[in-house]
Amino acid sequence: MTAAVGEHPVVLITGAARRVGATIARTLHAAGYDLALHCRHSRVELDALIAELEALRPLSTLALQADLADAERLPELVAATLARFGRLDGLVNNASAFHATPLGTITPAQWDELFAANARAPLFLAQAAAPHLAARRGAIVNLVDIYAERPLAGHSVYCMAKAALVMATRALAVELGPHVRVNAIAPGNVLWSTNEIKAETQATVEQRTTLGRQGSPQEIATAVLFLLRDASYCSGAILPIDGGRLLYV
């Protein structure tokens, strides 16, 4: 049985426990959204975030835990959101996998991992969510990357997976219009990478952005809110939030 439809719009966010995902969650929650928040391994962090948000507005969140590489679990995330809130107004495909794959060392397992998180899961979540989003005239926001537009040395599989998500964004905008808007955000450097091989250095960020600085997770979250709530005549767009990084070689 589906829950009664609540008064607040509802968004499902993947990879919501930490970093950019948690900032997106806090920003949408402050804007009046109820949230279904997904994590893979970061359950301690997710529970802490949910406790924080519940203290501000009780009964406004739902915790979801799943490995997005398990395609059979993806429709369950949408179903659980509907069972809890009775509606779905937005989907934010934020979860990602990122690691280097230097040519000559690439394995099929690395291909599968990077494409599962960055391309396959967003598509199948969108497919499961589509009829429910259409009923609410809702929206999808995908988190892609500036390196979907040009290659990053040593990260070919990651770049290819994010490029696939860019095309999925545009294709879904065609498939799901006019009732569902589908857009993407291509972040530049907003957090220093925890990987040993960093995509950007401080010098690169300062010298190769028009704004001469690193961005912030809040700037990404503000753009997500804009695309979900305010960009009513925007679909199929890839919005770079990169400080002008794409203008440089």
Give catalytic residue positions. Answer: 158
β-strands 34-39, 10-13: how paired? parallel
Q: Whose CA is closest to 75, among 138, 143, 131, 27?
A: 131
- 3-class DSSP assignment, residue 34: strand
Which two tokens mark 162? 């994010």
Q: How many Å apart are CA 114 and CA 162, to the nearest integer? A: 9
106-122 burial: b if 16+ Cβ within 10 Å, else e: eeeebeebbbbbbbbbb
Q: In what order do the strands lie in the sheet with 34-39?
A: 61-65, 34-39, 10-13, 90-93, 139-143, 181-187, 238-241
